[in-house]
Amino acid sequence: MAGKPKLHYTKGRGKMESIRWLLAAAGVEFEEEFIETKEDLEKLRNDGVLLFQQVPMVEMDGMRMVQTRAILSYIAAKYNLYGKDLKERAWIDMYVEGTTDLMGMIMYLPFQPADTKEKNLALIIERATTRYFPVYEKALKDHGQDYLVGNKLSWADVHLLEAILMAEECKPDVLSAFPLLQAFKGRISNIPTIKKFLQPGSQRKPPTDERFVAVVRKIFNI
pTM confidence score:
0.95
Residue 205's nearest CA partner among 166, 160, 154 is: 166
- Residue 192: its pLDDT value, please? 97
Q: How long is the chain?
A: 222
Residue 139 reports pLDDT greater than 90: yes
How far is the C-alpha of 219 from the C-alpha of 36, rounded, in Å?
7
- Residue 222: its pLDDT value, please? 80
The CA–CA distances, whole Å, from 205 to 94, 113, 197 equal 26, 23, 10
Confidence bin at 1 (pLDDT 50/70/90): very low
Are β-strands 6-9 and 31-34 bridged in parallel, bridged antiparallel, or unpaired? parallel
pLDDT tens sequence across 69-111: 999 999 999 999 999 999 999 999 999 999 999 999 999 999 9
Confidence bin at 62 (pLDDT 50/70/90): very high
Bond before 56 cis per omega within 30 degrees: yes
Domains annotated for the chain, with CATH where assigned, are 6-79+198-212 (3.40.30.10), 86-191 (1.20.1050.10)
How far is the C-alpha of 180 from the C-alpha of 79, rounded, in Å?
26
Residue 102 CB neighbours (<10 A): 21
- Residue 221: its pLDDT value, please? 84
Whole-number percent of the chain with pLDDT over 90: 93
Contact between 94 and 79 (Cβ < 8 Å): no
- Residue 2: its pLDDT value, please? 61
Contact between 103 and 97 (Cβ < 8 Å): no
Phi-psi domain of 94 (left: phi exceeds 0; alpha: psi -120 through 50; beta: other): alpha
Residue 123 reports pLDDT greater than 50: yes
Sign of the Cα pseudo-torsion (28, 107, 65, 203, in order): negative
Helix, strand, coil shares of the chain, percent, nearest 5, are 60, 5, 35
- Residue 150: its pLDDT value, please? 92
pLDDT tens sequence across 34-59: 999 999 999 999 999 999 999 999 99
